[in-house]
Structure 1
């Protein structure tokens, strides 16, 4: 099979600020795998969360180095390919691009979308949240109004963990809450921006204001503090940066209520599906999230969202120049279509 990689740059309608910094654009990688006249498509996007930042250049270099090692395989050889990729120590985003392309190829060969190959039900998919980044109260409020003009909003995720402190978080949250549509669920993602006392205090304050769940309140590396927060928080806790793949889940099973699966940190749909089953075995809830991903990667993730309690696949909705079409928003839900494979096209 032949592999080629093409970079593409996408620009955000509105830059997104979280506790770690601000992103206005991203150069992602489009991987095209060809075999027997069929193309499988995948995407890799850079991200800085967690153990080791993955840049566009490091991901591209890894894929370029791996391509000759994969030339003699076919898309049917997924177990052998996975073993080879493990030997090559590819970063997770590079593995994601290859894994999505392999799944896309197999779906196209079978003539079926992935959700149908897996026997999943699209009517189980819950609304995807739209994200409000850290900002002044007035600007955050205006950002929500912009989202309301762009799409139907049934769920809102508010980024907190401001470097300015808890009072800044409370002021911004209160401003945004004024314009949240009636009936829409509200969640908070601190991206590890709080210490333990602050997280305990904020969990109670946010619960009094109707928040649904709290994501990554403590920084990665502070997992030993999660049991105390778990006992004292009235809100369900979800791990994001503290949970990359299935190996992380058993260590979190007694201290969070759920995990956020992102394809780029997991390594693709194969690992994401393994994470689903591992989390279910530990009684944990599931959500799917994204980085600066285009429609390609978010459509891939959408095929697995019938498993999810919460969905946060909105990054492509904030792009001015997304080159792809795929899953469509229907009443606030990101629904994969009936095209075979991922169902993504240009």
Structure 2
């Protein structure tokens, strides 16, 4: 195999703010693995919350590739174990290599990634559309623009959370969920969730920091709205502990280590009776489409960042008014560069 690394810049249509930061643009790493005349695409979206930078990602990808370049690309479990052992602290680099390998081998097999796992392609499956933290006038404007979508995710984790929630719900009548991105204390969470409950949200996502395990367990006893764990669950090892304070988990390919790990996480979560959600970071259609290939295993999808940015250089899954479709029968990820 041969490796090629590129950098792409993704620009948001509107500044995207969550509880801990605001993003207007982001540079992601594109990984290309070639074997003969077939090339697999992968992507890394580094997140400073986990101590990742593009520099450390590139270094880890190069190191990982040198460890696996002579391996059989079809030995995905063996390759994952090698990468996990040597790059465990940079999971996003494992993700980029894993996705590129899946794209490569499935192109060789002339089958879609979903079929490789015995799954059906999703067709018009509902995904949430995200409203980031903003001023109240801007929140109202964004909500009115998003009225065509049947399901919204609203970012919280600031002083005027209740004003934001009210501004959205006064102007939207569809499905709703709220995401604090670990931005609340225990007392805040109890009070705010009790108020948010009147809007009948599907769930509240990551109300407290992941290190506050004791508080998360206490919170679970005081609220009736389902809790989805995001930052608390990185890979399969975190699922059982999270089951003590959460009703479901948010799986992100960039966070967990790729498609192979995500599939195994789904199996474990289902065995524990947990809801499954697929989410994303700031990503192009490479990462978003890769997650969508496992979409039939999910109860919830939050795969919308490729439509929140204005210059996605790739095309893959089809997003239509808040619903996602994987084009059936296309080998690999089914992602291509926009010409």
Alignment of 1:232-251 (within 5 A): 232-251=222-241
1:304 to 285, 288, 294: 294
Counterpart-to-counterpart distance in 2, 1:153 and 1:5 = 36
2:248 to 258, 272, 290: 258
- Structural RMSD (CA): 1.5
- 8 A contact 1:125–1:305 mirrored in 2: no
- 8 A contact 2:87–2:94 mirrored in 1: no
Partner of 1:178: 170
What is the TM-score with the length of structure 2 in the denominator?
Answer: 0.95
1:89 aligns with 2:87: yes
What are the Cα deviations for residues 267-304 of structure 1, in whole angstroms up to 9, with x where unaligned?
10011111101111111100011110111100000011
Alignment of 1:157-172 (within 5 A): 157-162=153-158, 165=159, 168-172=160-164
User: What displacement does 1:20 show?
Assistant: 0.5
Runs (4 or more) in structure 1 with deviation over 6 Å come to none
Alignment of 1:73-152 (within 5 A): 73-90=71-88, 91-123=90-122, 126-148=125-147, 152=148
What are the Cα deviations for residues 236-269 of structure 1, in whole angstroms up to 9, with x where unaligned?
0000001100000111112110000001110100
1:295 to 285, 297, 321: 285
Unaligned runs of 5+ in 2: none
- 8 A contact 2:139–2:164 mirrored in 1: yes
Partner of 1:321: 311
What are the Cα deviations for residues 122-166 of structure 1, in whole angstroms up to 9, with x where unaligned?
457741111111111111111223344xxx41110001111xx2x
Partner of 1:337: 327
- 8 A contact 1:194–1:217 mirrored in 2: yes
The residue matched to 1:153 in structure 2 has which SS?
Answer: coil
The residue matched to 2:26 in structure 1 has which SS?
Answer: strand
| Pairs aligned (count) | 335
Unaligned runs of 5+ in 1: none
What is the TM-score with the length of structure 1 in the denominator?
Answer: 0.93
Partner of 1:24: 24
The residue matched to 1:217 in structure 2 has which SS?
Answer: coil
- 8 A contact 1:113–1:343 mirrored in 2: yes
The residue matched to 1:275 in structure 2 has which SS?
Answer: helix
